[in-house]
Amino acid sequence: MDEVVLGRAGKERYARLHSLFQDPGFPWHVRLYERAFGFLMGGRPFPAAERQSLVNELAHLEHTLGTHGVHCTRVDELAVQPGEEPGLSQNFPRDLMVVIGDTIVRLRPRCPSRKKEERSIDSIIESFKQNGTRVIEMPPGPEMHLEGGDVLVDLPTVYVGVSHGTSLRAVEWLAAEFPELNVVPIHLRSSMDGHLDCCLALIGPKTLIAHLPALKNGLPNTLRDRDVIHVDARVKRELGTNVLMLDPQTAIVQKRHVSLQKELMGRGFTVIPLPFDTHANSEGAFRCATIPLHRSA
């Protein structure tokens, strides 16, 4: 990995209503709690200690990436504008865009309170356009939502999770845009399972990390010959699969997941353990916090 877009922290505010948690796939008590919490806290800032912890974790990640020769570009800083949904979080830009080959694909998050985040990559998108890079954008539509956490690029195959954040219609659109590639949908079992990268990680050409119960139909045929490192429900819930590969043999992993680190090292991988608990508690980890722009390996 040579260059990434990195999230930004320090000005987080609660959303009024996170549409993710209103999906019928969530238990009724979760939906009720989120409605009440959003009503009481919508638009208010996160506690200062939590915001500072998010800042520290991202700074630590940025420093680590820099020491490994990765150039980091931060998303543009945002403020909530009049008429926009309350809530602000710029920690997880992965859902905003994805690089497939030499093409930038600008995505559309499902959650209304996240729509404003799309502005945070305007300058990055514009710089690519000026350099002649192909940029495609999703067309609007009620079922046209696709989030980068559901996209695993393994050329010439692209795996796309069908989840609370990504519709099957959007997967079909992506396949039509890249007819030369094999775009494979992977249906998640429940809204509680988050994005595909919360359940599955491709680690080099022969290995993957997975919580298989979250995949409705199991692994697709193209992945069934790979060595699987299984993680349990706790590690999956803590975003243990959401690792960041710097190259085919080097992975950034949460510091608390010691057993996962041992599994990876036992297979010859170099592991970089970092603390990222506060981000994980906000439903994202290393992969969510970054958008790889260029890899030389």
Cα separation, 184 vs 160, in Å, equals 6
Whether omega before 156 lies within 30 degrees of 0, making that bond cis, reads yes
Which residues of the chain are modeled with pLDDT < 70? Answer: 16-43, 297
Question: Do 295 and 2 contact (CB within 8 A), yes or no?
Answer: yes
Compute CA 177 distance to the chain's CA centroid, rounded to the nearest angstrom.
Answer: 21
Cα separation, 105 vs 114, in Å, equals 17
Q: Output the pLDDT for position 29.
A: 56
Structural domains for the chain: 3-294 (3.75.10.10)
Q: What is the dihedral of CA 145, 246, 249, 201, to 10 degrees?
A: -20
Cα separation, 134 vs 104, in Å, equals 6
- Closest to 255 measured CA to CA, from 230, 229, 280: 280
pLDDT in tens, 65-111: 999 999 999 999 988 888 777 788 899 999 999 999 999 999 988 88
pTM as predicted = 0.90
Q: Output the pLDDT for position 233.
A: 94
Q: Output the pLDDT for position 294.
A: 82
